[in-house]
Structure 1
Amino acid sequence: MAYWLFKTEPETFSIDDLAKKDTIWEGVRNYQARNFLRDGVKEGDEVFIYHSSCKRVGIAGIGRVTRAGFADPFAFDPDSRYFDPKSSPDKPIWYAAELTFVRRLPLLSLAELKANPALAELALVKKGSRLSVMPVSSAQWRSILAMAE
């Protein structure tokens, strides 16, 4: 099993939304993040859900991948804001994953995460990192869980 961090704007989709309903994690339109969804994320992997672009930024909970590496269906829908006319079901450009809720965590702020020396190599805390999907090492995962306890 691998570990990941997925960023979301809670006004669009939050950990509370995931607690109510499984979801397709769609709309990722960054090539490196897309590659993680296509090639790295696997069924059974666990994911920190990170709330961004809001008043209380930070890790808010955990989800689990129930389906991974499939073509983002919203890329083919002309009515979707994620529509991409260059992407097709035969040759998809964008990928998605399905998630289910595992549990909420007490919000771990970006400042708290940055203050933990064990997380110095976590992409999230590095200057200029804006990826919406990023790997988390086993040691980083354990360190973040310890912070939440």
Structure 2
Amino acid sequence: MSLGTAARMPSPKAPDYEKGKWAAAFAPREAGERRHWLVKSEPDVFSFDDLLAAPKQTTHWDGVRNHAARNFLKDGMRQGDRVFFYHSMANPQAIVGICEVVREGYPDPSADDPQWYAVDLRAVVRLARPVTLAEIKARPELADMALVRVGRLSVTPVTPAEWETIVAMGDRGPG
């Protein structure tokens, strides 16, 4: 095998989202299958406490202006999927709660351009203990998590194994 061929072959340990731009997030679903996601918000703009205080503990997740994140909102997230709520630009940055998708992707009402999408999220539970980015980065089993590898993306898929690990780290929450 030439060096050029080896350089083009995917690593056998590469997560699905690296093999095909997060292909697993868009794969056909089994009946009743729930997928997992992570969304980021700066707590001084909109915090998990704000979500808990919102009517029906629900909000439009809008304002996303990145094509990859938009695709997750539009084509990946489905009603019933569970979502980690992550406080970015905070000290410390951390996953603080769990939400549920209650309305699938629709054109973002805050956008002038109909290419942008939003979903509606409802708070499910605050984690008993925030799970910090430093803690996540320290766990070898989370090294391939999109939050770690593609840190600037505001909406990312979370694998079932990553979900279970983080829920356990937060000491509470539904799977």
User: For the superposition of Structure 1 and Structure 2, which TM-score range results when normalised by the shorter chain?
Assistant: 0.7 to 0.9
Aligned counterpart in structure 2 of residue 15 of structure 1, from 48, 71, 95? 48
Q: What residue in structure 2 maps to residue 64 of structure 1?
A: 100
| TM-score between both structures, scaled by the size of structure 1 | 0.87
Unpaired runs of 5+ in structure 1?
76-83
Q: Percent identity?
A: 52
Aligned counterpart in structure 2 of residue 131 of structure 1, from 124, 133, 153? 153
Matched pairs, number: 134
Please tell me whether residue 116 in structure 1 is matched to residue 139 in structure 2. Answer: yes
**SS of 2:165 mapped into structure 1:** helix
Following the alignment from structure 1 to structure 2, what is the Cα–Cα distance between the partners of residues 138 and 48?
12
CA apart distance, 1:11: 0.6
Query: What pairs up with 1:77-88 in 2 under 5 angstroms?
Result: 84=112, 87=113
Q: What residue in structure 1 maps to residue 79 of structure 2?
A: 43
CA apart distance, 1:117: 1.2
Q: What residue in structure 2 maps to residue 81 of structure 1?
A: none
Query: In structure 1, what residue type is equivalent to 2:41?
Result: T
Task: Give the superposed CA RMSD.
Answer: 0.9
Query: In structure 1, what residue type is equivalent to 2:51?
Result: L
Following the alignment from structure 1 to structure 2, what is the Cα–Cα distance between the partners of residues 56 and 121?
21
Larger Rg: 2
Unpaired runs of 5+ in structure 2?
1-33
**SS of 2:110 mapped into structure 1:** helix
Following the alignment from structure 2 to structure 1, what is the Cα–Cα distance between the partners of residues 138 and 90?
20
**SS of 1:74 mapped into structure 2:** coil
Deviations 1:73-128 (A, max 9, x none): 111xxxxxxxx3xx2xxxx21000001110111111100000111111101112x5
Please tell me whether residue 54 in structure 1 is matched to residue 87 in structure 2. Answer: no
Q: What residue in structure 2 maps to residue 102 of structure 1?
A: 124
Runs of 4+ residues over 3 Å off in structure 1: none
